[in-house]
Amino acid sequence: MSKKLLVFVAVLSLMLSTVGMSIAQDTKSHPVNNKVKSIVESTKKAVKNVTLADVKKSIDSKEKAIYLDVRDESEFAAGHIPGAKNISRGTLEFKVAKEIPDTNTKIYVYCKTIGRSALATKTLNDLGYKNAILMRAQYADWVKAGYPVER
C-alpha cells in the first residue's frame, strides 16, 4: 500500500470515528432519551421494589412466587434466575394473562438493567396484578453476587 493511501485511510478513519462519536453524543442527549430516562426513574420509585437479597431469600425460603425475566429470549437462554419464567417486555401485555392467570400471584420482575423490569412491573400493576414487585438490581448484580444461575 502506498504512503499516500495509508495517510488517506488514516484520515478517513479519524473523520468517521469523530462523526460516529458526534452522532452517539447527540443521541444520548436527545430530548426523547432524556424523557425515557425520566419515565423509568419515576417508575422505579412508583412501584413496589425489593433488593437482590430479598429475591434470593424468597427463592431460598421456597416462597410461592414467580420470578419473571422480561429480557428477550436470547438473553434469558444465556442465563437466568433459577426457576424464572420468561416473558419479554415487548410481549408482556399479550402473554401475561395466559402465563400468569392469577392476578394475586406474587411476581418478582427483573431484567438486564432495571429499565424494562420497572416498566413491566408498572404494566403488571396497571393490568391488575396486585403483587408485582421490581427487583431493584440488574441481572449482572445477581451473577456478580455469586447467586445460582440456570441456562
Residue 20, pLDDT above cutoff 60: no
Q: What is the pLDDT of residues 75-85, one digit of tens each?
A: 999 999 999 99
Rounded Cα distance, 15 and 22, in Å? 11
Domain ranges of the chain: 47-144
- State the burial class of residue 133 (Cβ atoms within 10 Å of its Cβ: 0-12, 13-18, 19+): buried
Instruction: Please tell me the predicted confidence (pLDDT) of residue 117.
Output: 98
pTM, two decimals, is 0.80
Residue 3, pLDDT above cutoff 60: yes
Query: Which CATH superfamily is 47-144 part of?
Result: Rhodanese-like domain (3.40.250.10)
Residue 1, pLDDT above cutoff 70: no
Contacting residues for 145 by C-beta, under 8 A, at least 6 apart:
52, 56
Average pLDDT along the chain? 88
Beta bridge partners of 108: 67, 133
Instruction: Please tell me the predicted confidence (pLDDT) of residue 17.
Output: 52
Low-confidence winner among 1-5, 116-120, 123-127, 137-141 (lowest mean pLDDT):
1-5
